[in-house]
Amino acid sequence: MTVQCPAGHENQDGSQFCNTCGAAIAAPPAGTGPSSTAAASTSPNWPRLAAIAGGAVVVIAIAVVLGISVTTAASNAERQAAEEAASEAEAEAAAARLQLLPDAIKGCGLDSSVVQDDGRSAFLDNKGNDFGSGDLTVDDLVCVLNAIDTPDAVINHMANTRSLDGTQSDSWGDFAATWTYHPDNGLDIIIKLVD
């Protein structure tokens, strides 16, 4: 059996659109022909299909937005955790630097009053010929200088300073030092952490 489209083209029974012009073919009135029940049960429900498709698009869009939000939140959390870890490591490094001089003084068995400025400096007052010039021996000075990894060149510079030379200075690694020498006062050294 054949059916005609509104333009009169012949199409096979059950066709919904014309094979020639593409026009929609009206379904035969209910109850006509032996396959009317089967055709009615198998013909698509276009409004329902459109609603399902629209709903699927909305669900996909929501999933994409949620995926982007979750990814953004995860990368923000990772960035924040990395920044906090870096800040914590920086704070620990700064605290460890402030312990360099106190640890050196303590390791050499010297009084902690030698350390000043909350660990940022130390005054090493060597014993000279005059009474009250200081109480640290040359061995005490060398112990502290070695404990803070003072290069041999700097130690030699200090050892060869004369009273005529006035105030001398040098720097290395985390430290800078100034010193003076006079036989009456001994070798007096100020060591500072550099920023």
Residues 114-170 pLDDT 10s: 999 999 999 999 999 998 888 999 999 999 999 999 999 999 999 999 999 999 999
Cβ burial 88-106 (10 Å sphere, 16+ → b, else e) = eeeeeeeeeeeebbeebbe
Q: What is the dihedral sign for C-alpha 153, 154, 158, 159?
A: negative
Task: Tell whether the model's pLDDT for residue 33 goes beyond 60.
Answer: no
Q: What is the pTM of this model?
A: 0.58
